[in-house]
Structure 1
Amino acid sequence: MKKRKSSKDEPFNFWSGILFGLGLVAFIDEVVFHQLLHWHHFYDKSTTSIGLVSDGVFHAFSWFATVVSLFMLADLRKRNVWDRRGWIGAVILGAGVFQLYDGIIHHKLMRLHQIRYVDDVIYYDIVWNVIAGFMIVIGLIAVAQKKTPEPKKKAGE
């Protein structure tokens, strides 16, 4: 017998997706921009050693968020109440929110680091934040769409 999704499962589904999106985009940011391209560290206002330690803490955060979200997802799937469309929308939303937070709060307000240390960083900032905005809009649209109910089967089918 298939269990029906209740309204109490929706926040759990949503927050699992948000955490996975945060962890995923933080992981991608850490690996691509910090480790592979060497564009910056999470905290660039000190020595390289402090920058590497800050990258480690940032990396631990991304893994923690990802692992917690996957435990939540496993519970949703075990109880057969996972809303895939809503979850994927929340993943995209979480990724976009993290990226916009990083681009505005970390890069501009707190000045922890820049995307890249070049003369015309504004172009990087625009691309970074516009992509974040698109992800937020796409995520919100996907989360807002209600899952269409399955048609009821008639007796004897």
Structure 2
Amino acid sequence: MKHVDGAALVLGLGIGGFVDGIVIHQLLGWHHMLSGWYPLDDVHLMMLGDGLFHLLCLLLVLVGIGMLNRRPPMPNAVLAGGILTGWGVFNLVEGIVDHQILGLHHVRHGPDQLAYDIAFLVVGALLVAAGIFTSRSRLRRAPEGSS
């Protein structure tokens, strides 16, 4: 991923985690971070797991901002492409490690959970492709060193 900025990628990892946690955990209520390992009726444990997850997302966003602050400004397309790529990498890693390998939770528990898990991975792959395309499209339009 040589066309994706590392700072924007880290920022995208954190943003992707926040979107997942806010939309799937909180708004839709499909799962919590530890719902595959512990009973859902332990509200304190579910909130603790989600809170630690959101704390990690916050740290990733802060690290990404710090990295961005240490470098010259980048074109908007490169920033957006890196964020999209980072979000997609988040989905792919979480979808493979947390959903499939560790079984921490599934996107949506129930009879169709594998379909939801696969859709989550497909969205991740599409985000990575869109991010790389967005970053590269900016690089194709402008010579090196221009903004």
TM range (shorter): 0.7 to 0.9
Q: Are residues 1:40 and 2:31 paired?
A: yes
Deviation at 1:111, TM superposition (A): 0.3
Partner SS for 2:108: coil
Matched with 1:143 is 135
Aligned to 2:103: 111
2:117 aligned with 1:125: yes
Q: Would you identify which runs of 4 or more consecutive aligned residues in structure 1 move more than 6 Å?
A: none
Question: Could you say what secondary structure the match of 2:29 adopts?
Answer: coil
Give TM-score, length-normalised by structure 2.
Answer: 0.81
Q: Deviations over 1:108-134 (max 9, x none)?
A: 111000111121112212221111111
Do residues 94 (structure 1) and 89 (structure 2) align?
Answer: no
Give the Cα separation in 2 of the matches to 1:90 and 1:82: 11
Aligned-partner residue type, residue 73 of structure 1: L
| Paired residue type of 1:84 | N
- Cα deviation, 1:19-70, whole Å, max 9, x if unaligned, reads 1111111001111111122211111212423222111110001111112212
Matched, 1:54 2:49: yes
Q: 1:66 aligns with which of 56, 61, 64?
A: 61
Equivalent residues, number = 137
| Structure 1: stretches of 5+ with no match in the other structure | 1-9, 151-157
- Kindly indicate whether structure 1 or structure 2 has the higher relative contact order, using CA contacts under 8 Å at least 6 residues apart: 2
In our comparison, the structure showing a higher alpha carbon Rg is 1
Percent identity over the alignment is 29
Q: CA RMSD in A?
A: 2.2
The 2-side partners of 1:53 and 1:36 are apart by: 17
- Measure how far apart 1:75 and its partner are: 3.5
- 2:10, 2:92 → 1: CA distance? 15
Deviations 1:127-156 (A, max 9, x none): 211111111112222334426138xxxxxx
Supply the AA of the counterpart residue of 2:135: V
Q: Give the gaps of 5 or more residues in structure 2.
A: none
